[in-house]
Amino acid sequence: MFISARVHNAGVAAAAIVVAAAAPAAAQSEAALKTFFEGQHVTLRIDMPGTSDGVDVHADAPRAVDFSEYRDDLKKYGTAIRAGDTVTVTLVKVKKDLIEFQLAGGGFGTFGDDTSTSVYIPHVDKSEREKGLEKRVKEETDRDRRRELQRDLDEL
């Protein structure tokens, strides 16, 4: 039987709980798992990548965590929670082929997540300084002075 757990914003401490409980968990209900795990505090043993995918822990695999995937996620998404941080198990979900643990309110699609894919960027008019520098760059005949003015303009 293939047993896996997806750990959202958790770590090896939580993963160890999952691995230790994985075999008996298959025979337990979601309600029993929620009662036992939710509200418990765990101390992270590894950094957690800042992705909604979490870290997959496979209890029946020779290596419980695919560290090449873990490393790539850390590089791509950065660290959401650092090793050594203590967080709360906020949600346990039993799915078809995995048990998902969400910690510190983590995981994608939880209440309050901004699932919007658009970003509003307001238009900002040019300042008087920027307008003045643009005019001076246009009118300047000395090449070195024009470069200096352009650098000042670029820094705005």
pLDDT digits (tens, 9 = 90+) for 21-37: 444 555 578 889 889 98
In the chain, where the domains are located: 4-103, 126-156
Global pTM reads 0.51
pLDDT per residue as tens digits for the range 61-89: 888 888 899 999 899 888 888 889 898 88
CB-CB contact of 104 with 11 (8 Å) = no
Mean pLDDT of the chain: 77
Going by pLDDT thresholds of 50, 70 and 90, the confidence category of residue 141 is: very high
Which of 8, 80, 10 has the alpha carbon at shortest distance from 42? 10
High-pLDDT (> 90) share of the chain, % = 19
CB-CB contact of 66 with 56 (8 Å) = yes
Q: What is the mean pLDDT of residues 116-138?
A: 83
Taking the C-alpha atoms of residue 139 and residue 122, their distance in angstroms, rounded to an integer, is 31
pLDDT at 115 over 60: no
CB-CB contact of 5 with 59 (8 Å) = yes
